[in-house]
Copies of this chain bind each other. A is one copy, B any other.
Amino acid sequence: MKTVNAQAEKLKLARDEFVAQWGALGTQWGINRTMAQIHALLMTAPQPMTTDDVMEELEISRGNAHTNLKELVSWGLIRAVVKKGERREYFEAEKDVWQIFTIVARERKRREIEPALALLAKCAEESSGIETPEGKAFNNQIRALEEFVGFASKMSDRISSMKYGFAVQLASKLLG
């Protein structure tokens, strides 16, 4: 019994560290700390958790827990599940790493690549008729960026719609 307790304690420590640090990393990734922490918590949860569980575990307010749980649901990184005979919602994380990757890749594309592409297209268009040397240089630079970002966008699509096995196969050629 002593051993089991000691091991449970060890697990709790490791998991708490993971959750805390993953939250800190989230900041770098441009997602907010709480959202990343909840994600880490649910990715490593043996069972689905309620809003109250999350509040208690992370010592955060209901509003905060709620907002970030919903945001994670909208990303598709977690989902709400219902337990029969229970009224409140439980949440569980997608645990498959390839799924997680494709979800994050798609979301980043949507939020980072697509707006950039739209801007570049607009500026390329607006500057296309300018015949001064500066105008031509500007237009060329914008078009070079546009071409590259468009290409990155297509790549992102292709990769994130691959089956995991195929991606691995492709990658092994690259890394081999």
Which residues does A use to contact B, with CB under 8 Å? 4, 7-8, 10-11, 13-15, 17-18, 21-22, 25, 28-30, 43-44, 46, 95, 97-98, 101, 111-112, 115-116, 119, 122-123, 126-127, 129-135, 137-138, 141-142, 144-145, 147-148, 151-152, 154-155, 158-159, 170-171, 174-175
Residue of B nearest to A21 (CB): B119
Asked whether, in the complex, the Cβ of B28 is within 8 Å of the Cβ of A29, the reply is no
Asked whether, in the complex, the Cβ of A141 is within 8 Å of the Cβ of B95, the reply is yes
Count this chain's copies in the assembly: 2
Best-buried of A7, A14, A138, A142 by chain B (most CB within 10 Å) = A14
Asked whether, in the complex, the Cβ of B141 is within 8 Å of the Cβ of A4, the reply is no
Asked whether, in the complex, the Cβ of B21 is within 8 Å of the Cβ of A142, the reply is no
Given contacts A7-B135, A46-B137, A155-B171, contact A123 B17 (CB under 8 A): yes
Asked whether, in the complex, the Cβ of A10 is within 8 Å of the Cβ of B130, the reply is yes
Given contacts A144-B97, A171-B151, contact A134 B30 (CB under 8 A): no
